[in-house]
Structure 1
Amino acid sequence: MCFDQNRTASIPIEQPSRHGILAPAEICPKLMNVELAIISTSPEVSLDVQSDGADESNKCNKELQNAEIARIVKAKDLNSLREFGGVQGFAEALDTDLENGLANDEDEICCRRLTCPQSETKPPQEGFFHILWNVCNKHLIFLLLLCAVLSIVFGILEEGLHTGWYEGAFIICAIIVLVSVPMIREYWYSWYQPRRKKLSKNRETAVHVFSGGSQHQISISNVVSGDIMWLKKGDQIPADGLFISGESLKSDDELESTIDDQNPFMFYGAKVINGEGKMLVVSIGKDTVWGEMMSNVINASNPLQVQLDQLNSCIQIIGVLITIIILVVLFLRFEFSKGSAASVIPDLKAKPAAIKEFIDAIYKIVKKPKRKTDLLTSSLTMILVGIAEGLPLMVTLALYYWNKKALLGKATTQDFFACITMGSVTTICTDKTCGLNLNQREVDTLYVSGQFFNDESAIAPKVIEALCKGIATPILGLKRPLSSMEDSLLSWASLKLGLQLDILKQECIIVEVKELNFDEEGCGVLMRKDGESVNSSYWKGSASTILAMCSSYYSSEGAMNVIDEQKRVFFEQVIADMQGKHLKTIAFGYKKTDIATLEETDLILLGLLGLKNSFRKSMEDCIGAGVNIKLVSGCDASELESIALECGLNIPNSDSVVLGENFRNSTPEVRMEMVDQICVMASSLPSDKLLLVKCLKEKGQIVAMVGARTDETPAIKEANVGITMGSGSTEMARESSNIIIWNGFQLVQRTRTGKKERVQGYPSKLLIGFTVLTLDPLV
């Protein structure tokens, strides 16, 4: 309940500031109580009430307008945004000012919070005593505790205080083992999942907003729609909104990182990686794109965990039965010991001979001799411990061994069961920029000096030296980590051409570095040798781009020849032949100059290089092992089809390529029929990826989702195994994933080999270890 604008009160009311430490849930009840007190007790209060019909109409129009605003932002509909009046039109609709922000009206701010409260996603914190209670709150523990108490009581009555408590103490030791081992295991699991520790921290982050013409620092939980927020490098975007103004603002969204007037849409969870700017808050909490999708995520248990839970239930039942047997042995031994105190067996003359023989047999087991009875109780207790904790212990050790062997230091697992589940995966859904690492290439063909290079090629040393510099210098000139393709290229040049990278680094001085346009994929470096005045320009890029910049080439003897029209057509045919074999073609150009300017014309062509996709063979092996690969992206269908063919994905018919809109708008029955046939889903939204993962799981598939962006987080969490690709992923995507993998080749390789290792290694190690722990007491 909030104050109406037409209500007036002559009694001053002291209201809490929104910039204080009170949360919305604490502020609003106080306002409500104060208002009720004034209305009920003060005779000076006057109310001007508008007609109910007008209020309802205004409220309905306001809700429709806000819904349209949220739709435009979620759909990234730039045309509708402009028709609405741009960011200024949105600000007027949200009753805010782009320069000064919301007015310092606590009543209005309270109403906005009540209209759309922040969604809380804090995971429950389980402390020591909570875990202790969960472990102890089992029938098995209570029955064993009863056995221990009865054993101590009966033992003291039979043997005295000196030795009668031994057997009960042994059972208490078993209880301690059954309690402490699960607790240690639970803490280990918590330590093994570091991703959870950051989920609640983001809710307490402070942000800067403009309110009443000045800038204030408030908690993220106090942000409301209509706020004008100031963001800088390192800040996490706490809501969906629109860009107002700023300088060089970029987020960690890999596909659309630059935020400006042409791409003004900003979404919850993304992180500002460069620049600073102002944002108009449109949606918060569960009304954000991320919040809506997360509300549809079902946190189902891991398939392996489900199987282990079922097995653990059976083990608990067996443990309870063994405990009952121990109780029966203790009672019988005590009853017979009372009879033996008078050295008389109960009179059984009136009973049938068969019953008398049965009771005599039991009497001999539980009473003669006493040591054998103790051994029976001790053995049953040890078997109980072996059964109850032997299997979980072996599962823990086997999973630790599996994770260590499978990841090989090239990935980080954040879920103890995720790595072995990867061996059971039947479908992998991935974007073109994630799991399909197209840069995982190796050299296949080199055309240099008019011939294809091999180990027996005779090429002039100066041509080889120039080619080595042409390969290495443009890479060294870029101040960034090497890509996998560049690293592979340098390794090949060192092995085949004799490139000495360390010497080159010491001798060369980089004068200028220039990158070509994105479409041309190339870069140039102007360098000179230490102690020399002559500069050298080296260019590397796509073969067609570099060839157009060249006017001559080296022969095998080192002579420089002119590239005439006939020779240029020949080189273009060589490039076309390489591309026909699905090779990525790059070329290297070179020119000496006396001026300190990087030149782009009249270069000398050093060589044409064809790089094959080493990922393709692994992809084909993965598909051959029964794993389906589905390429899901927002790109158009033709681009995704070419990528799929390059990676070795089989597209049997036109039904295998669908648009996200068609999949989204189909009926549930049609979607379930489509899902098995889909190989490529183009023009898809993040919600389409989530829907696809859900459909696959409903069909009984074990799904791995590979993502990198914040808006892909719901699909990553919905999948049986969520995977992100290292530093190329956003922080929120990495926190929500099960496995962070640093090499795209490793992804399909471990999936393929994991299927074989899962069948051969894991059950045998588990069975052997479990058998040893269980049978050890009897041996």
Structure 2
Amino acid sequence: MTNNSLYNITIQQIKNKFGINYLDSGLDSNQVEERLKTIGLNKIPDNSGYSVLSLFLEQFKDFMVLVLIGAIIISGFLGEFDDAIAILAIVILNAIMGFVQEVRAERSLQALKELSAPQAKVLREGSIEEVPSQELVPGDIILVEMGDKIPADARIIKENNLKVNEASLTGESMAVNKENTTLQGKVAVGDRKNMIHMGTIVTKGRAEAIVTATGTDTEMGKIADLLQQSEDNKTPLQERLNDLGQWLVLICFIACVAVVGLGVIKGESIYKMFLAGVSLAVAAIPEGLPAIVTLSLAIGVQRMIKRNAIIRKLPAVETLGCATVICSDKTGTLTKNEMTVQQIYTIDQLFNCQVEGFDNPRLKRILEIGTICNNARLKRGSSLSGKINEVKDYVLGEESKKEVVGDPTEAALLLAADKVGLKKEDLRAEFSKVLEVPFSSSRKRMSIIGKKRGEYELFIKGAPDVLLERCSNYIEDGQVKKLTSRIKNKIIRQNEGLANQALRVLAVGYRKLGSNIDQNNLEKYENNIIFVGLVGMIDPPRDEVKSAIIDCKKAGIIPKMVTGDHKNTAVAIAKQLELLNKGDQVVTGKELSQMSDQKLKEQIDDIAVFARVAPEDKLRIVKILQEKGHVVAMTGDGVNDAPAVKEADIGIAMGEKGTDVTKEASALILADDNFATIVAAIEEGRAIYDNIRKFIRYLLSCNIGEILAMFLTSLLGLPLPLLPIQILWVNLVTDGLPALALGVDPADDDIMERQPRDKEESVFAHGLKWKIGARGVLIALGTVLVFLFGIRFTDSLLKARTLAFTNLVMAQLFFVFSCRSEEHSLLRINPLSNIYLLGAVAFSFGMHYLVLHLPFLQEIFNTTVLSRGEWGLIILVSGGSTLLIELVQFVTNLFRKNISLIDFKELISKT
């Protein structure tokens, strides 16, 4: 049994389809048992098929990890057990972190299953009983009321003023009116008035309904199926590091074979050259690189936590840094996910409540009527998490948390009244409610009749066109006047103006009834109403989102709204946020369904707003953007967003109002639901990727310098300038703390003025490999130069090797400062902006100084003390090249950017 087009057939046809004999008795136990056997439980099965062991072993299949395992074996063979243990610790740590991330990702389906209500009220064999929701079957008759989470997809039989919040399924912010009707033609999920769906929440009224689908056949179940089918792709950073690992192994193999071969040819022993070759192999592979990458990302995570962003997967920050498109849901992401009164119209004035506030005597009567003619409830001081509707309000300058239970429109009226001190309980105490004529989709109005000081009075609110037909008078300056056609047209025009701003408009009025009423025919009193005013409300945009969108565009990132809400509302919000500009297109889900993938691919860059879309549409949009070469970030909060969030290159979930399934499918969670936090994450992502390039540049340049120094001396027929133990020491001293310190380097000032990286861009792009090679050559030449000086002028191989050894260390410690920026010269960077780097270099220099001066270390490392003159030579050779290159880059940047003399002086003063 399926629920295909069940909204198109009559209740009698529904009864026949599901074998229901009597609507007042429901299914019998035999029918339930049989259907449970054939259809299964009303739950989403776990088809992941993964085991804990397999997930853990997967962590060791990464190419870089295999290289590190090889380094462990080599280090152990050399007797460098400390080094081997350190590398092994890195491998295990990375495996554990990756394993934990994989396990957490698999929890997304479990979170989705938990959305269904644990218990359900069902009519069986003539009596109402509560059963576990997973035991529901198609054909069951369920009963739901305000506050209930709907346990399965169902067709409405009876309803009393039913409204359902379907934001978690469709993305629409306003509660939807439901009714028992038969729809014609194909209808989108969000417009199926006669259906209720699993996981959505009843905000008003009650209903009886026939279950039409359970488990994976529900709309929520279809989303789970989409979530299972989407794949986790490697991030750009992971792909770049994989390429780097292969490149390193190739270079290492060629260089080590060449060095060993040349050494053997010139007469060195095979054993000695083998040890030298293996030492070079360990040095050539920067085993600290994965740890440094992890640390750099972890530091980024800590920074983001302080800025209300929670990173679930370490590479997420870097991936966000190269995003070119952000697909953002509207409700709760760009907007506050709470209806708010924006404008109030009295016959003589239009009040903008966001500017003027509500504290105006002319508005008091309107707010009194809206508060009394209201079934929502306001609770103070309660938790904001996991509620039907949540609001934050500011009263007397202090944040006051309030929970509103009920219809969001009525909640907005309560909050507006609360801001001027009008409390529903106080007003109801004076105005005792006698009768209510409830709102319905056919009536489009609601009336309350109450008694105050012995006199009856009717308060009414509803659709302006309906209410105006029942008005005979209006109030102006406190006086009741005759409603003429001119005034009526004036009100109609004002209503149209508010509606064109995508505001939901309610009219309010009242009527005095005297001391006696006929309680058997209340609707007759809904005439001769005195019109009081119009109230326009909307789910407003977040205050900080507009500037965040502007910053995104400045950074070359295109924001797109992808929402299940109506077109007019989406367009109004998009225009307010400057997300929709001249020339941009707006496409609805219906129009999207008529577009081929090729046509969508051609137009998608020009589409700024996708409105009234289904979950499948969101997933399709993400995939088409990816086919166009975009790196896609998808923000979301509802369950309907989860498949697209998981499929996107970087999925972003809302922390406060997001569903569990979306959080588990995401890589980044915004704890404050603030779109502006995404901009901060983008900046952090770019900074982290820059820092990764910095220490790749540093580590590889240094390692190439070591290999080339060994290769050149072998080529010249000279003795080896470095012993295996010295090579390993250089690797330890320079590849450790200084490289780590680069991972915390602050971002360049202009980092958010650059265009996003191409996702196919190599980690060596923009000439990085040439910079690495050139600097490696300079380091090698300087080392060979001082080695030749030592051989020629000291006539001591011990002294010559100490000179070469020390020059290699110092050249790398000077060079680390050059790696702080690829765009700017070291002379333009504040040296105190990274005190960790200064400390790391000082510590590394101190360690090397001890190797040269402590006798027992001299014996281990085959070193000797250097004279002042020899230190001067090393400083000149190792530091001179760094200073020269930085001066050249500084001057080049001055001319390239046409910096004036005044700017030049300012830069000099800063440095």
TM-score when normalising by structure 2: 0.50
Q: What is the CA-CA distance between 1:648 and the residue it aligns to?
A: 4.8
In 2, Cα distance between the equivalents of 1:447 and 1:493?
Answer: 28
In 1, Cα distance between the equivalents of 2:321 and 2:499?
Answer: 35
Tell me, yes or no, if the aligned pair for 1:659 and 1:681 is still in contact at 8 Å.
yes
Report the counterpart of residue 86 of structure 1 in structure 2.
14
Report the counterpart of residue 805 of structure 2 in structure 1.
none
In 2, Cα distance between the equivalents of 1:579 and 1:250?
Answer: 22
Which of residues 684, 687, 700 in structure 1 aligns to 2:629?
700
Q: What is the CA-CA distance between 1:205 and the residue it aligns to?
A: 10
Matched, 1:121 2:47: yes
Query: Which moved further from structure 2: 137-146 or 498-507?
Result: 498-507
Report the counterpart of residue 100 of structure 1 in structure 2.
28
Which of residues 359, 363, 387 in structure 1 aligns to 2:289?
387
2:619 maps to a residue whose letter is L
- The unaligned stretches of length 5 or more in structure 1 are 1-68, 153-167, 333-350, 368-372
Q: What is the CA-CA distance between 1:706 and the residue it aligns to?
A: 5.0
1:676 maps to a residue whose letter is D
Which of residues 178, 195, 198 in structure 1 aligns to 2:90?
178
In 2, Cα distance between the equivalents of 1:320 and 1:525?
Answer: 82
In 2, Cα distance between the equivalents of 1:381 and 1:481?
Answer: 65
Report the counterpart of residue 777 of structure 2 in structure 1.
none
Deviations along 1:551-601, one digit per CA (max 9) or x if unpaired, are 56575xxx7575764777767777777777788878888999998999998
Matched, 1:479 2:377: yes
CA gap of 1:753–1:82, structure 2 versus 1, over 3 A, is same
Query: Residues 203-602 of structure 1: matches in 2 within 5 Å?
Result: 228=140, 253-254=166-167, 265=195, 280=211, 285=216, 290-291=221-222, 294=225, 299-301=230-232, 305-311=235-241, 314-315=244-245, 318=248, 355-356=266-267, 384-405=286-307, 407=309, 417-418=315-316, 421-422=319-320, 424-429=322-327, 433=331, 435-437=333-335, 463=361, 466=364, 478-480=376-378, 487=393, 508=426, 510-511=428-429, 517=439, 562=481, 565=484
In 1, Cα distance between the equivalents of 2:231 and 2:213?
Answer: 32
1:306 maps to a residue whose letter is P
Q: What is the CA-CA distance between 1:249 and the residue it aligns to?
A: 9.1
SS of 1:675's partner is helix
1:139 maps to a residue whose letter is L
In 1, Cα distance between the equivalents of 2:75 and 2:356?
Answer: 87
In 1, Cα distance between the equivalents of 2:451 and 2:127?
Answer: 54
CA gap of 1:473–1:290, structure 2 versus 1, over 3 A, is closer
Matched, 1:675 2:587: no
Q: Identity over aligned residues, as a percent?
A: 18
CA gap of 1:428–1:228, structure 2 versus 1, over 3 A, is same
In 1, Cα distance between the equivalents of 2:593 and 2:356?
Answer: 60
Q: What is the CA-CA distance between 1:545 and the residue it aligns to?
A: 8.9
Tell me, yes or no, if the aligned pair for 1:442 and 1:611 is still in contact at 8 Å.
yes
2:627 maps to a residue whose letter is E
Deviations along 1:245-270, one digit per CA (max 9) or x if unpaired, are 99999876346685867666565666
In 2, Cα distance between the equivalents of 1:696 and 1:602?
Answer: 54
Report the counterpart of residue 717 of structure 2 in structure 1.
none
Query: Which moved further from structure 2: 211-220 or 663-672?
Result: 211-220
SS of 1:174's partner is helix
In 1, Cα distance between the equivalents of 2:665 and 2:391?
Answer: 29
Q: What is the CA-CA distance between 1:312 and the residue it aligns to?
A: 5.0
Matched, 1:771 2:739: yes
SS of 1:487's partner is strand
Report the counterpart of residue 150 of structure 1 in structure 2.
77
SS of 2:266's partner is helix
Q: What is the CA-CA distance between 1:549 and the residue it aligns to?
A: 6.9
In 1, Cα distance between the equivalents of 2:124 and 2:506?
Answer: 55
CA gap of 1:458–1:592, structure 2 versus 1, over 3 A, is farther
Tell me, yes or no, if the aligned pair for 1:441 and 1:613 is still in contact at 8 Å.
yes
In 1, Cα distance between the equivalents of 2:126 and 2:473?
Answer: 63
Query: Which moved further from structure 2: 277-286 or 623-632?
Result: 277-286
Report the counterpart of residue 347 of structure 1 in structure 2.
none
Tell me, yes or no, if the aligned pair for 2:327 and 2:632 is still in contact at 8 Å.
yes
Q: What is the CA-CA distance between 1:405 and the residue it aligns to?
A: 1.8
In 1, Cα distance between the equivalents of 2:615 and 2:105?
Answer: 26
Q: What is the CA-CA distance between 1:395 and the residue it aligns to?
A: 1.6
SS of 1:134's partner is coil
RMSD of Structure 2 on Structure 1 (CA): 7.0
In 2, Cα distance between the equivalents of 1:473 and 1:750?
Answer: 36
Tell me, yes or no, if the aligned pair for 1:244 and 1:280 is still in contact at 8 Å.
no
CA gap of 1:120–1:193, structure 2 versus 1, over 3 A, is closer
CA gap of 1:148–1:474, structure 2 versus 1, over 3 A, is farther
Matched, 1:691 2:596: no
Tell me, yes or no, if the aligned pair for 1:463 and 1:606 is still in contact at 8 Å.
no
In 1, Cα distance between the equivalents of 2:58 and 2:657?
Answer: 40
Number of matched pairs: 639
Tell me, yes or no, if the aligned pair for 1:443 and 1:609 is still in contact at 8 Å.
yes
SS of 1:687's partner is helix
In 2, Cα distance between the equivalents of 1:261 and 1:493?
Answer: 44
Deviations along 1:401-447, one digit per CA (max 9) or x if unpaired, are 2354253xxxx665555566555544454666454528789998888
Query: Which moved further from structure 2: 689-698 or 673-682?
Result: 673-682
Matched, 1:629 2:560: yes
In 1, Cα distance between the equivalents of 2:482 and 2:326?
Answer: 48
Tell me, yes or no, if the aligned pair for 1:619 and 1:648 is still in contact at 8 Å.
no
In 1, Cα distance between the equivalents of 2:392 and 2:444?
Answer: 13
1:130 maps to a residue whose letter is F
Tell me, yes or no, if the aligned pair for 1:245 and 1:278 is still in contact at 8 Å.
yes
CA gap of 1:673–1:309, structure 2 versus 1, over 3 A, is closer
1:74 maps to a residue whose letter is N
Q: What is the CA-CA distance between 1:397 and the residue it aligns to?
A: 2.0
Tell me, yes or no, if the aligned pair for 1:148 and 1:169 is still in contact at 8 Å.
yes
Tell me, yes or no, if the aligned pair for 2:343 and 2:351 is still in contact at 8 Å.
yes
Q: What is the CA-CA distance between 1:393 and the residue it aligns to?
A: 1.6
Q: What is the CA-CA distance between 1:387 and the residue it aligns to?
A: 2.5
TM-score when normalising by structure 1: 0.57
Q: What is the CA-CA distance between 1:767 and the residue it aligns to?
A: 4.0
In 1, Cα distance between the equivalents of 2:547 and 2:392?
Answer: 20
1:121 maps to a residue whose letter is N
In 1, Cα distance between the equivalents of 2:546 and 2:258?
Answer: 64
CA gap of 1:470–1:419, structure 2 versus 1, over 3 A, is farther
Matched, 1:139 2:45: no
Report the counterpart of residue 715 of structure 1 in structure 2.
644
Deviations along 1:211-250, one digit per CA (max 9) or x if unpaired, are 99999999999x8986758788999888766678999998
Tell me, yes or no, if the aligned pair for 2:72 and 2:85 is still in contact at 8 Å.
no
Tell me, yes or no, if the aligned pair for 2:7 and 2:155 is still in contact at 8 Å.
no
Deviations along 1:466-492, one digit per CA (max 9) or x if unpaired, are 589759967998414798998379979
In 2, Cα distance between the equivalents of 1:278 and 1:516?
Answer: 21
CA gap of 1:139–1:623, structure 2 versus 1, over 3 A, is closer
